């Protein structure tokens, strides 16, 4: 028997990330110069001793499955390490996961194998460093049926989140999804710990409820509250960011450049793990200048980099300037280019002399070869 | 398909790197910002389809064992074949063999059990990005007994002095192996030999009380064996002294050499770590340098090589230097022509300047 196993919801299509998730599940989107978004959650599991993990995938899973592989980078290549759970059909039928709760429901037999006392439900699209073991301790101490991790958000933003109203001892008495007049600023982070026996009962009931959307936030949690089950909030006060939109994706990346940020990918005790590329140290030439940036191995820099994040194997030629931008792996930037507030997708080749500059406060611009081609095609014979 | 096994013979390598090899052998000497010397040999072997590699390690191999682990970083953690580290642990009272012949004698099993008919033998002090498949094809085509990999050096330096020079006829057959210091055709220490012949020559060498397999078994048998030459072209470096170590590291700051060694036939593999990308802070001023992941730079770095996890604080200058893993350079420090071994801490305001020809070396884990 395992005390606690993790179920990681990684099927998100991530519609609001536009082109970035065109062929890619949201958790597999590159992040932070070396990682993919899901690496933060996977590393949280490793670092907090959650060694059995089911990863539920659904949308464009190729890259994501390849990335997770046998779980080796996260030390999860063990007998009960990481298992990728995709939708399937069986004698009794089968279907795509219709909601977060349904995804867990359809994989109950996976959880039952380990006969766990508790199940941790997390999702693969948030950037944060959290010790789930501490949350589990509180869950046990309060003898809760469910514990939901919360973070204090600015009052002005509270109406954009799922808000939990709690009593003094953090017991939850109400859950409001995007309330107009929030009574509290404790937002749900989408991280749950359940007593497995309790959750199982609710999942079975929910599965037969035709009116249900089979969602934790919309159905399971409200149903448990209606039955006055013991639900508690767990306070988290570190860095946490949902990278659901282009803007928040860009901001979360830029946050990594902030020296005072509490999130640290080089914490010795809380490393973020991912695949290594075997690429050599980066080369910075005589003509280069680099400041306030993150640059990964295999990069060749001849130009000027400022407030930017460069993934592996990016070449920037002379007299080019890259500012406030995120450059994905394998990108080539020719001479005399100007990029400002741009997200360049994998392997894009930017010809010399290209200038793409986005004004401050405007949404950063995502480009790939296709979009670039469209931009460079002369409209009315404008190009020389 | 014909197969080769690999053998990395570290028995007669020179450990003349002073402080840098007090506690490690030269195979595990850090090189090129992120690698150990042996990574190049190992990567070349596995990328030439060799998936069975043995290492003769005589001394100071603790750090080598730590680096190699199960061999998984080189895809050598295999059910069949894989990595065999063969230290000098033998206890045969009737054994009369000497020198590296004792390794061959006491590890016969390794050669007997292998399915391969050929052996590629190498040291660790020749650095290149080579694909030995072509040399192997050449060896088979020529029906050679032994094929020596050579390279023609443009400019001769002191580090080349100990290496054998090779003379061959127009058919590539080796006619002389000499110490002729004017000949720039150097034997790289890498050669291909037929396995059964190897074992026969080992027995013969032992019978005649010899102590060096290559000299007695190959060099002195030029007339009896068909020994061919195969020339390696492209980037190469011989490293067997502090000076050559320093010069060859610095040589990688030339973009062409960097490209040839690291992006040549294949990527060089090494032990992976989980270091984040290099962080350049607001005051960082870096030019003409190599930086490995995990570094945090807020000072000036010029013409230098920074290994993984080095911190250069505000107002510090690192010039023409090699800084190994996890060193900390505090505020206002000035380093020039310096080699810092791993985990060195240079305190505020210190100044260390070596000469270009003789860099100043600081041993591991010192606080200055």
What confidence tens digit (pLDDT) does each residue in A241-289 have? Answer: 989 899 999 999 999 998 777 676 666 778 899 998 899 999 999 999 9
Contact A295 B269 (CB under 8 A): no
- Pairwise CA distance, residues A354 & A377, whole Å: 12
Beginning with the edge strand found earlier in the chain, give each strand of the sheet holding B360-362 in spatial order. A349-350, A332-333, A315-316, A300-301, A282-284, B289-291, B305-306, B322-323, B338-340, B360-362
* The pairing of beta strand A240-242 with beta strand B285-287: unpaired
- Pairwise CA distance, residues A246 & A242, whole Å: 11
- Nearest Cβ partner for A285 among B255, B270, B284: B255
Four-residue CA torsion sign, A188, A189, A194, A200? positive
Contact A281 B292 (CB under 8 A): yes
* B292 interaction partners in chain A (CB closer than 8 Å): 281-282, 297
What residues have CB less than 8 Å from B340, skipping those under 6 apart? Answer: B321, B322, B323, B324, B327, B346, B362
* A285 interaction partners in chain B (CB closer than 8 Å): 255, 287-288
Is the minimum CB–CB distance between B290 and chain A shorter than 8 Å? yes
Instruction: Give me the mean pLDDT over the A362-367 stretch.
Output: 93
Q: What SS3 class is residue B125? A: coil
- Nearest Cβ partner for B287 among A73, A280, A284: A284
What residues have CB less than 8 Å from A109, skipping those under 6 apart? Answer: none
* A290 interaction partners in chain B (CB closer than 8 Å): 280, 284, 286
Q: How many CA atoms lie within 13 A of A356 on its CB side?
A: 25
Contact B274 A294 (CB under 8 A): no
CB neighbours of residue A267 within 10 Å: 13
Is the minimum CB–CB distance between A307 and chain B shorter than 8 Å? no
Q: One digit per residue, pLDDT tens: chain B, 368 residues? A: 789 999 999 998 876 788 888 888 999 999 999 999 999 999 999 999 999 999 999 889 999 999 999 999 999 999 888 999 999 888 888 888 889 999 999 999 889 988 899 999 999 999 999 999 999 999 999 999 999 999 999 999 999 999 999 999 999 999 999 999 999 999 999 999 999 999 999 999 999 999 999 999 999 999 999 999 999 999 999 999 999 999 999 999 999 999 999 999 999 999 998 899 999 999 999 999 999 999 999 999 999 999 999 999 999 999 999 999 999 999 999 999 999 999 999 999 999 999 998 999 999 999 99
pTM of the model: 0.93
* A294 interaction partners in chain B (CB closer than 8 Å): 276-280
Count, residues in chain A: 384
Which of A43, A65, A63 has its CA nearest to residue A55?
A: A65
* B278 interaction partners in chain A (CB closer than 8 Å): 282, 294-296
Residue A117 above 50 pLDDT?
yes
Q: Which of B36, B274, B307 to mutate to test the interface with A (most CBs of A within 10 A)?
A: B274
In this prediction the ipTM stands at 0.93
Q: A127 CA to chain B: closest CA distance, Å?
A: 15
Which whole-number Å values give the CA distances from A229 to A163, A174, B302, in the listed order? 18, 12, 64
Q: B334 CA to chain A: closest CA distance, Å?
A: 20
């Amino acid at each position: 028997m395992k005390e606690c196993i993790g179920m990681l919801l990684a099927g998100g299509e991530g519609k609001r990330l536009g082109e970035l998730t065109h062929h890619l599940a949201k958790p597999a989107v590159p992040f932070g110069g070396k990682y993919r978004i899901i690496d933060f959650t996977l590393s949280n599991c490793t670092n907090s001793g959650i060694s059995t993990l089911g990863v539920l995938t659904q949308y464009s899973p190729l890259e994501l499955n390849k990335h997770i592989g046998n779980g080796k980078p996260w030390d999860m290549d063990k007998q009960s390490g990481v298992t990728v759970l995709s939708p399937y059909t069986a004698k009794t039928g089968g279907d795509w996961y219709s909601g977060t709760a349904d995804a867990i429901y359809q994989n109950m037999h996976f959880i039952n194998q380990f006969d766990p006392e508790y199940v941790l439900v997390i999702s693969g699209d948030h950037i944060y460093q959290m010790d789930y073991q501490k949350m589990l301790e509180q869950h046990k101490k309060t003898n809760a049926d469910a514990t939901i991790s919360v973070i204090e958000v600015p009052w002005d933003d509270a109406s954009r989140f799922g808000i939990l109203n709690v009593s003094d001892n953090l017991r939850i008495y109400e859950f409001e999804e995007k309330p107009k007049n929030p009574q509290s600023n404790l937002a749900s982070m989408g991280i749950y710990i359940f007593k497995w026996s309790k959750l199982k009962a609710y999942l079975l009931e929910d599965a037969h409820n035709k009116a249900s959307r089979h969602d934790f936030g919309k159905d399971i949690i409200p149903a448990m509250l209606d039955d006055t089950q013991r639900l508690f909030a767990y306070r988290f006060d570190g860095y946490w960011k949902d990278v659901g939109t282009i803007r928040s994706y860009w901001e979360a990346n830029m946050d990594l450049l902030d020296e005072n940020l509490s999130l640290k990918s080089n914490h010795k005790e809380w490393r973020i793990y991912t695949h290594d590329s075997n690429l050599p140290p980066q080369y910075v030439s005589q003509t280069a200048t680099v400041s306030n940036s993150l640059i990964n191995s295999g990069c060749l820099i001849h130009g000027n980099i400022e407030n930017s994040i460069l993934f592996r194997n990016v070449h920037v030629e002379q007299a080019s300037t890259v500012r406030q931008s995120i450059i994905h792996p394998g990108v080539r930037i020719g001479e005399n280019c100007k990029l400002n507030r741009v997200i360049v997708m994998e392997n894009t080749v930017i010809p010399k002399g290209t200038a793409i500059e986005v004004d401050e406060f405007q949404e950063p611009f995502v480009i790939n070869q296709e979009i670039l081609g469209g931009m460079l095609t002369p409209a009315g014979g404008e190009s020389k | 398909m014909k197969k080769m096994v690999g053998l990395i013979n570290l028995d007669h390598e020179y450990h003349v790197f002073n402080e840098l090899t007090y506690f490690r052998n030269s195979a595990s000497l850090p090189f090129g910002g992120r690698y150990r010397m042996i990574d190049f040999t190992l990567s070349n072997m596995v990328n030439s389809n060799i998936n069975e590699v043995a290492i003769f390690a005589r001394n100071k191999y603790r750090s080598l064992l730590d680096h190699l682990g199960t061999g998984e970083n080189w895809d050598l953690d295999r059910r069949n074949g894989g990595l065999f580290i063969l230290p000098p642990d033998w206890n045969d009272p009737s054994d009369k063999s000497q020198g590296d012949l004792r390794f061959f004698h006491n590890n016969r099993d390794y050669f007997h059990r292998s399915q391969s008919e050929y052996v590629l033998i190498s040291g660790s002090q020749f650095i290149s990005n080579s694909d030995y498949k072509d040399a192997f094809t050449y060896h088979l085509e020529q029906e050679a007994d032994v094929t020596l990999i050579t390279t023609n050096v443009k400019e001769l330096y002191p580090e080349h002095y100990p290496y054998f020079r090779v003379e061959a006829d127009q058919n590539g057959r080796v006619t002389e192996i000499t110490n002729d210091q004017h000949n720039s055709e150097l034997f790289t220490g890498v050669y291909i030999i037929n396995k059964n012949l190897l074992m026969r020559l080992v027995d013969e060498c032992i019978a005649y009380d010899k102590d060096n397999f290559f000299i007695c078994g190959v060099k002195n048998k030029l007339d009896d064996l068909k020994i061919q030459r195969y020339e390696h072209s492209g980037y190469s470096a011989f490293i067997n002294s502090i000076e050559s170590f320093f010069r060859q590291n610095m040589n990688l700051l030339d973009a062409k050499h960097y490209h040839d060694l690291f992006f040549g036939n294949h990527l060089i593999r090494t032990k992976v770590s989980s270091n984040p990308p290099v962080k350049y802070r607001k005051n960082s001023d870096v030019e003409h340098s190599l930086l490995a992941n995990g570094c945090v730079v807020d000072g000036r770095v010029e013409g230098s090589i920074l290994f993984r996890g080095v911190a250069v604080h505000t107002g510090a200058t690192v010039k023409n230097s090699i800084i190994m893993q996890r060193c900390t350079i505090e505020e206002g420090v000035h380093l020039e022509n310096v080699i810092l071994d791993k985990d060195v801490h240079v305190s505020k305001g210190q100044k260390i300047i070596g000469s270009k020809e003789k860099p100043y070396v600081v041993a591991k884990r010192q606080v200055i």
